[in-house]
Chain A
Amino acid sequence: MTVTDVRKDPEQCTLTIINEFDASVEQVWQMWADPRLLERWWGPPAYPATVVQHDLHPGGKVTYFMTSPEGDQYHGYWNVVAVDAPHSLELLDGFADGEGNANPDMPNTGTSVSISAVDGRTRMVLRSTFSSPEAMAQLMQMGMEEGIQLALGQIDALLAG
Chain B
Amino acid sequence: MLFYNRMVVDDLVFHALSDGTRRDILAAVLEREQSVSELARRYPMSFAAVQKHVAVLERARLVRKRKAGREQLVTGDIDTLRRSFDLLTQFETIWRQRLDRFGEVLADTITHDDTTHDDTTHRHDTRHGRTGATR
Q: Which residues of A contact B (CB under 8 A)?
A: 1-3, 6, 8, 10, 13, 15, 17, 19, 21-23, 27-28, 30-31, 34, 36-37, 39-45, 48-50, 126, 128, 132-134, 136-137, 139-141, 143-144, 146-147, 150, 153, 157
Contact = CB atoms under 8 A, between A and B. Distances in A.
Contact of B133 (A28, A40, A137): A40
**Residue in B89, B91, B110 with the greatest tally of chain A CB atoms within 10 Å:** B91
Contact of A136 (B14, B94, B98): B14
Contact of A45 (B18, B109, B134): B134
A15 B88 contact: yes
Interface string B1-45: 001000100110111011000000000000000000000000000
Contact of B101 (A13, A41, A136): A41
A16 to B, nearest CB: 10
A40 B14 CA distance: 34
A8 B102 contact: no
